[in-house]
A and B are shown apart, each in its own frame.
Chain A
Amino acid sequence: MRMSLAHRRWVWALRALLALALLGAGGAVARWGGAYLQRLVILFLINLMLVVSLNLFTGLTGVFSLGHVGFMALGAYTSAILTLPPALKAVNLPDLPAPLSNVTLPFLPALVAGGLVATAVAFLIGIPVLRLSGHFVAVATLGFLIIVRVVLINAEAFTRGTRTFTGVPPATTLGWAALWALLNLYVAMRVKGSALGLQIRAARDDPWGAQGVGVALGRVRLVAFLISAFFTGVAGGLWAHFLTAFSPNAFYFSKTFEIVVMMIVGGMGSISGSVLGTLLVMGSTELLRNLEPGISIGSITLGPLYGLSQIGLAILLMLLIAFRRQGLLGDREWGLEPIAERLGAWWEGRRAERVSLRVRKADP
């Protein structure tokens, strides 16, 4: 009993330390980091949300979704339409129906609305799609992505069709992105560890067995799908208010591929793996992109190497598939508990040593 209390104290101390470190890092980036670094961090946080949400569904249920970028698009367009000032709406979206054309919401409600629209659509398509299993879900969700794109292109009154949707207020700050990303991480962690998460994972590992002990396969999958769609929609809204101009082309295969790669690198089913995967993929692409214009090592100059970042990513993926197919972390987590355990053991050891020293000193 005493042991577990000490253990919990260690965990809390580590959590506080981590929170302080994150807060410090965030503050430092906001205070001293340049605009470029801040952009990278915001983009990282948004990508992180997309990857964690995708992982929350795909990693836990084991069925592959290729349609999540569709939810991102719904969140982006919904929140952007809601925050666009009426004057700009009159110019950019002259055919917008009446209640929408003179409504302007603040940033937060618009983001939540974007998430909710994504959730509602996920509910509608989730009921039929999640009855399928395995590769069929991947194909069906891919179909959903294509449908979203066609709808975006043709719903010109709402989206300007293929033309660039522009004039979105640049409301996504580092703080907003960090807040939502942390919330997303927290929810994902809680879901994974909850009874629901255990049911979902049981259904993944042994569908017949899980159904045998009373897990409603379709329902638990649907819940994961809905949570995942909500945060993907919010991430889309953050992305829209970060970039301020976008068109349906942004929400298609290349974005899907980008997110899937980050998830696979980190490990399907691991939340901390998602953080690691996003960090590694974004870090290496950005680093290699900075080397593209040319590198000089001593007197040797390597000329411009455009496309280096894509090649680097491809090599990273090949290495990973060759040596560690389950991704960096597989479906394990980098938690604070094992560290706390080790720290606790070390502390206990030292105390025991001191006690024994004192005993020995007193002995003669």
Chain B
Amino acid sequence: MRPLLRWMTLLLAVLLTAAACQPSPASPPPSPTAAAPAPPSAASPTPGAAAPIRIGAPFNLTGGMASIDVPAANGARLAAEEINATGGVLGHPLELLIRDTKTDPATAANVVTQLIEQDKVVAVIGFNDSDYVLAAGPICQRAGVPFITVGATSPRLPGQVGDMLFLAPFGDNVQAAVGAEFAFEKFGKTAYLLWDKGAEYTTVLAKYFKARFTELGGTIVLEDTYQSGDKDFSAQIAKVKALPQQPAFYYIAALPDDVGTIVKQFRNAGIAGPIVGGDGYDTPLLIEVAGPAAESVFFTTHSLLTADSPNERVRKFVAAYKQKYGTEPEAVFAALGYDSVYMLAEAIRRAGSTNGRAIQQALENLRDFHGVTGVINYSPQSHIPQKGVTVIEAKGGKFTLAAERVPQKVPAP
């Protein structure tokens, strides 16, 4: 055993030395001029080929968030390649540094620190959940690096992180308001509300829905909760069945993994009324798991990504995605990742520099930006875009467009 121990120690020593050297693989060592946040024109190590503008793209490519973070990263990569094919930004190609943060907030914070400090990224895009945004955001804020979150929808994020943070999607209060208004007009004044206590997103979504729906004059006849990962909803269903009169519709705030199961069990129990939800329903799992039971399910989301969409941008995006990855976008977050990179490129172009503050100012003044997920407007007061919400209906085993709306009134975050 002794020689083995020695061998292991040797291995450890080698590993540590290598770790101490901190290789930055597949990238040239940053030139001293590139270290300063100067306009990239000042920093071209080789004449002829312009130095790339580096953008950090941390995503949870492995672990529990992978099912939506991988499409988001794919969408971002597609956008960067398209931009580079048409000449890049300010004459420089974009270099997207996609990093895996393993669904672990501590890794997320380390990776973002490394991206800023060692890779000298000019901006960061990434993450679809507030846990990771809140771990990494303050680091970007302190370093003065703009950060666009691809899919985290909590409307309180900019207040919690600071003025360097921008949201690519709408806030949950916006989609909950649209859900409430749409259902109030279309289905009626009574609702059943069920939400998942195990996640921030569903908790917040239910809260905003309730606020807007009761403000409109609706009544919640019954409110109930469950825990993500529950597989049996018979207790909740029994309470619904015991109601003297069924509500006009059922608002269920659920995570993508649970959506199909819930819908199926509700329908099997004979509850046939419309079910309404948020962008957690935007997953192929809804129809795969619930099958024909998914009829008359309505949900609010960022965009309807189909190859035959009336929107030309969506059609082009879906076709390009399919050509590159061999499948249609797995989740709407692919489009948000795509839009995030285009938005950032546009801001760098308008700022005319890669200085963090200049990009942040340009993003704040970004108006009428047409993306796949709608028209994006930021303002110094609001780093959450005021964009339209798409309402989708599951019909005949397919997602179809039910409405595109802007809320009349949004609950305060």
Contact = CB atoms under 8 A, between A and B. Distances in A.
A291 interface: yes
A221 to B, nearest CB: 30
A185 B105 CA distance: 26
A289 B106 CA distance: 14
Contacts of B102: 309-310
Interface string A315-336: 0000000011000100000000
B131 A292 contact: no
A170 to B, nearest CB: 7
Interface string A82-119: 00000000000000000000000000000000000000
Interface string B102-146: 111111011101101110000000000011001100100000000
Nearest to A319: B8
B200 A163 contact: yes
Contacts of A245: 105, 131, 134-135, 138
A324 B15 contact: no
B217 interface: no
Which residue of A164, A247, A280 has the most chain B CB atoms within 10 A of its CB atom? A164
Contact of B135 (A34, A243, A292, A309): A243
A267 B331 CA distance: 44
A196 to B, nearest CB: 29
Interface residues of B, number: 48
B109 A279 contact: no
A293 interface: yes
Given A162-B197, A323-B4, A290 B22 contact: yes
A247 B98 contact: no
B113 A35 contact: yes
A223 interface: no
A9 to B, nearest CB: 27
Contacts of B198: 153, 162
B97 interface: yes
Contacts, number: 119
Contact of A328 (B5, B16, B138): B5
A292 B99 contact: yes
Contacts of B25: 290-291, 293-296
Contact of A36 (B63, B114, B203, B227): B114
Interface string A120-156: 0000000000000000000000000000000001100
A287 interface: yes
B199 interface: yes
Interface residues of A, number: 48
A328 B97 contact: no
Interface string A242-286: 011111011000100000000000000000000010011001101
B62 A161 contact: no
Contacts of A154: 197
Contact of A287 (B5, B19, B97, B204): B19
Contacts of B15: 280, 283-284, 287
B100 interface: yes
Given A243-B135, A310-B62, A161 B22 contact: no
A301 interface: yes
A293 B138 contact: no
A283 B12 contact: yes
A283 B11 CA distance: 11
Contact of A307 (B12, B100, B200): B100
Contacts of A293: 25-26, 97-99
Contacts of A249: 131
A301 B26 CA distance: 8
Given A286-B19, A307-B62, A34 B117 contact: yes
Nearest to B104: A254
B16 A166 contact: no
B1 interface: yes
Nearest to B16: A283
A328 B114 CA distance: 30
A322 B18 CA distance: 26
Contacts of B176: none
Interface in B184-224: 197-200, 203-204
A291 B61 contact: no
Nearest to B22: A290
Contacts of A286: 19
Contacts of A290: 22-25
A163 B62 contact: no
A36 B110 contact: yes
Contacts of A250: 105-106, 131
Contact of B26 (A247, A296, A307, A310): A296
B160 interface: yes
A69 B110 CA distance: 21
A43 interface: yes
Contacts of B61: 306-307
B117 A35 contact: yes
Contacts of A243: 105-106, 109, 135
Contacts of A204: none
B18 A287 contact: yes
A246 B200 CA distance: 12
Contacts of B113: 35-36, 39
A36 B24 CA distance: 13
Given A162-B199, A245-B105, A296-B25, A43 B110 contact: yes
Given A36-B110, A162-B197, A164-B134, A283 B26 contact: no
Interface of B: 1, 4-5, 8, 12, 15-16, 18-19, 22-26, 61-63, 97-100, 102-107, 109-111, 113-114, 116-118, 130-131, 134-135, 138, 160, 197-200, 203-204, 227
Interface of A: 34-36, 39-40, 43, 153-154, 161-164, 166-167, 170, 239, 243-247, 249-250, 254, 276, 279-280, 283-284, 286-287, 289-296, 301, 304, 306-307, 309-310, 323-324, 328
8 contacts: A244-B134, A244-B138, A254-B103, A280-B15, A295-B25, A306-B61, A310-B102, A323-B4
Given A35-B116, A164-B131, 10 more contacts: A40-B110, A243-B106, A244-B135, A245-B138, A249-B131, A250-B105, A280-B15, A287-B19, A289-B107, A294-B26
Q: For the complex of A and B, list the 7 residue pairs with the smallest distance between their C-beta atoms, beginning with the closest.
A: A245-B134, A163-B200, A294-B26, A306-B100, A306-B61, A36-B114, A287-B19
